[in-house]
Amino acid sequence: METAGVFMTHFELQMAAIALNINIFVYTPRDGKWTPYTIETSAPARIRKSPPYDERPTCLIRLDDLHFEPVYDIS
């Protein structure tokens, strides 16, 4: 996802979180919600608390159904 035009599905996000042993959070602007992808979540679950979550999680913003960009600052 370093360049425009690179896409990822929910399944690939979940597998990346498991394989890399990291927490990935995806923000969807139209819903105003964060979706976590972690080892503990076998399927996406909505987060109801406000950021910050982990000390330095991987955060992405959903641009459309399968296109994401990195988030560098959520403060």
Give 16-32 pLDDT, tens digit per residue. 888 888 888 888 888 88
Mean residue pLDDT across the chain: 70
Tokens 């399927």 sit on residue: 43
Domain contains 58: no
| 43 vs 26, more confident | 26
* pLDDT above 90 as % of the chain: 0
Domain contains 20: yes
Q: How far apart are CA 26 and CA 51, in angstroms?
A: 12
Domain contains 57: no
Number of C-alpha atoms within 13 angstroms, CB side, residue 63?
A: 11
| C-beta neighbour count of 28 within 10 angstroms | 15
Domain contains 69: yes
Identify the band that residue 33 occupies on the pLDDT scale cut at 50, 70 and 90: confident
**What domain range includes position 26?**
7-49+63-75
Residue 1 confidence (pLDDT): 47
Domain contains 17: yes
Task: Answer whether 21's CB lies under 8 Å from 57's CB.
Answer: no
Domain count, the chain: 1
Domain contains 56: no
